[in-house]
Amino acid sequence: MKNSNFKRLAAIFILVVLIPGCKDDNNNISEFVGNYVINHAELTDVLTVSTIENGDVPLAVGTDITLLIQTALLSAVNCSSADKSYVELREDYSLYLSCEEANPLNAGTWEEVSSTSLKLNMNNAAIPSSPTGFVLTVTDIVNDQTGLTGKTSVPLPKTLISALIAPLTLTQTAPIIFIAKFSVEFSRK
C-alpha cells in the first residue's frame, strides 16, 4: 500500500513539475524577430538648416528622407541598392545588417523595451563614423503582418544633410551633426 501511494505521488510530481516545462518555447520569441527593409522615412519635426544661398531653410514635417535614412543606417553593408539591404532582428537579440542574404554584418544587439518600443544598440561596425556606435530607440511602434512603423531620432552627419538639400549649400557654421526626428516604416522581408 505504501509502495502504491509512493508511485502515485511520484506520478503526480512528474505531472505537476515536469509537464509544464515541456510547453512550446515559441511563446517566448519576441514578435519583433524578423528581417526588415526600410520602406519609408519622413520628418516628424521641422529640421532647420542654414544655407549660403537662402539663409535658414526649414525642412517641413513630412519631408521624405527615406534614402537618407537608408544610407545612414545601412551604409556599412555593401549592396547594389538600398532596397536590397535589410535589418535582421534575430531570436538571440543580435542585430545584423544584410544585403540579399550575403555576408551579414554583426551590427550589435537589440532590446524589446515594450510592445511598442525597441532599442537598437548599433556598434561601430554598423556606424563606422561613430567610434562607439549609438543607440537608436524606436517608439510608438505599430507591429502588424506586413511590418513595423514607429518614431525615432538619429544623428545625421553634415554630409548627408548636404546631399538632402542639394543644390543648396550648408554654411560654414552648420553643425557637424544634425538630429533628425522622423517616422519610419519597415516591411517584413
- Per the CB < 8 A criterion, the answer to whether 84 and 98 are in contact is no
Smallest Cα–Cα separation from 43: which of 168, 176, 188, 164? 164
pLDDT over 70 (residue 1): no
Q: Which domain holds residue 164?
A: 30-188
Residues 5-32: pLDDT tens digits? Answer: 444 444 444 444 444 444 445 567 899 9
Number of structural domains, the chain?
1
For position 10, what pLDDT does the model report? 42
Residue 69 lies in a domain: yes
What local confidence, expressed as pLDDT, does residue 181 receive?
96
Whether 37 is in a domain gets the answer yes
Nearby residues of 15 by Cβ (< 8 Å), 6 or more positions away = none
Give domain status of residue 70, yes or no. Answer: yes
- Quote the pTM value: 0.79
Give residue 23's pLDDT. 45
Average pLDDT, the chain: 85
pLDDT given at position 26: 53
Residue 10 lies in a domain: no
Q: What is the CATH number of the domain that holds 107?
A: 2.40.128
